[in-house]
Amino acid sequence: MRKPQNVYDNSQFFEEYQKMRDSKINANELIEIPQIKAMMPDIKDKMILDLGCGDGGMSRYFAENGAKRVLGLDISNNMIKLAKSKTQQANVEYIVGEMENISKLNEKFDIVFSSLAFHYVEDFEKLMADISGLLKPNGILLFSQEHPIATAIIPSNKDMKKYIEINGKRYFLLSDYNNNSCRSLNWNIEGVIKYHRNFSSIINAIIKSGMSVLQVGESQADEKAVQLVEKYKYQIDRPYFLYIKAQKV
Ligand SMILES: C[S@@+](CC[C@H](N)C(=O)[O-])C[C@H]1O[C@@H](n2cnc3c(N)ncnc32)[C@H](O)[C@@H]1O
């Protein structure tokens, strides 16, 4: 097992990433956040764990919308520092920690939430088992991650195009889909590690952990997003994010 990578504490990566997030013109704001919010369970009076909480945007959202307590956890000191500086609510707490070690938390939650962080974790079966152990009976897991059809390809070199164009239409390449393993990417910096898992591995890990799947969503850019960012037209009929809501049974 590899040591978890903490790329958000690399100053060059962090600066580029925050520039993108602060612009508000990005796939998080325009596509992922509204779509995962549409799958949100009732959060009033709930104890919520936000895994890979980043700057705490969703943790604050939970507190603003009536959560009883929110615990945000992130591997990155940079992120937790930023989250603390942006948060006033007394019922939101942040800790620096690895998702790989959450079985050590000694409290139970009504909701475990995570936005775009699970593809950084190598052992997904363990992550699901640990989350199941932290959920109260009937507790809910809601998460997003990069979609397996987007994470699958292993390019032969860093400049290789991941699509071909025929008669002006872009056709995306889908290879290496059943090769569940890490992918090293050039994103803000070289060597960012993410983990690809095919769809059945994701679903089966959830089921094996004692949760049942309640709802699955796949992202779709809408007209407003495409108007603001033209290249999102390629995300109208090709999902980039996967959303899953599951319940501890
Ligand atoms: C794409 S950002 C998303 C942040 C936040 N959830 C949001 O949507 O704004 C991914 C976050 O996951 C965190 N992360 C990555 N690997 C982690 C790990 N092994 N344990 C805890 N957090 C991790 C990163 O530090 C980063 O803040």
- Write down all domains in the chain, each with its CATH number in brackets: 7-147+197-248 (3.40.50.150)
Kindly tell me the sign of the dihedral angle through the C-alpha atoms of 159, 233, 194, 59: positive
Q: Is residue 159 predicted with pLDDT exceeding 90?
A: no
In Å, how far are 25, 105, 108, 154, 186 from 99, measured between CA atoms? 28, 10, 15, 25, 23
What is the spatial distance between Cα 62 and Cα 5, in angstroms, rounded to a whole number?
A: 27
Ligand 1: atom nearest CA of 78 is 25
Residues in Cβ contact with 116 at an 8 Å cutoff, skipping those fewer than 6 apart: 28, 32, 52, 144, 145, 146, 241
Determine contact, residues 135/248, Cβ cutoff 8 Å.
yes
Is 158 or 10 the better-scoring residue by pLDDT? 10
Determine the pLDDT at residue 25: 95
Ligand 1: atom nearest CA of 99 is 20
Nearest residue (CA) to ligand 1, atom 17: 75
Tell me, in angstroms, the distance from the centre of ligand 1 to residue 164's CA: 32
Ligand 1: atom nearest CA of 57 is 9
- Burial of 203: CB neighbours in 10 Å, binned 0-12, 13-18, 19+: middle
Q: Is the pTM of this model over 0.95?
A: yes
Strand arrangement, sheet containing 47-51: 92-96, 69-74, 47-51, 109-115, 135-146, 241-248, 211-218
Whether the CB of 121 sits within 6 Å of ligand 1: yes
Whether the CB of 8 sits within 6 Å of ligand 1: yes
At residue 158 the predicted structure's pLDDT band, cuts being 50, 70 and 90, is confident
Whether the CB of 122 sits within 6 Å of ligand 1: no
> Across-strand partners of 83?
none
Tell me, in angstroms, the distance from the centre of ligand 1 to residue 97's CA: 10
* Token code pair at residue 23: 């612009």
Q: What is the DSSP string of 108-126?
A: -EEEEEEES-GGG-S-HHH
Ligand 1: atom nearest CA of 33 is 8
Q: Is residue 194 predicted with pLDDT exceeding 90?
A: yes
Q: Is residue 191 predicted with pLDDT exceeding 90?
A: yes
* Token code pair at residue 36: 């995962």
Whether the CB of 118 sits within 6 Å of ligand 1: no
Whether the CB of 241 sits within 6 Å of ligand 1: no
What is the spatial distance between Cα 13 and Cα 235, in angstroms, rounded to a whole number?
A: 24
Amino acid at 61: Y
Query: What's the mean pLDDT in 87-107?
Result: 97
Nearest residue (CA) to ligand 1, atom 24: 52
Whether the CB of 59 sits within 6 Å of ligand 1: no
Q: What is the mean pLDDT of the chain?
A: 97
Whether the CB of 100 sits within 6 Å of ligand 1: yes
> For a pLDDT cut of 90, what percent of the chain falls above it?
98
Whether the CB of 26 sits within 6 Å of ligand 1: no
Residue 193: left if φ>0, alpha if ψ -120 to 50, beta else—which one?
Answer: beta
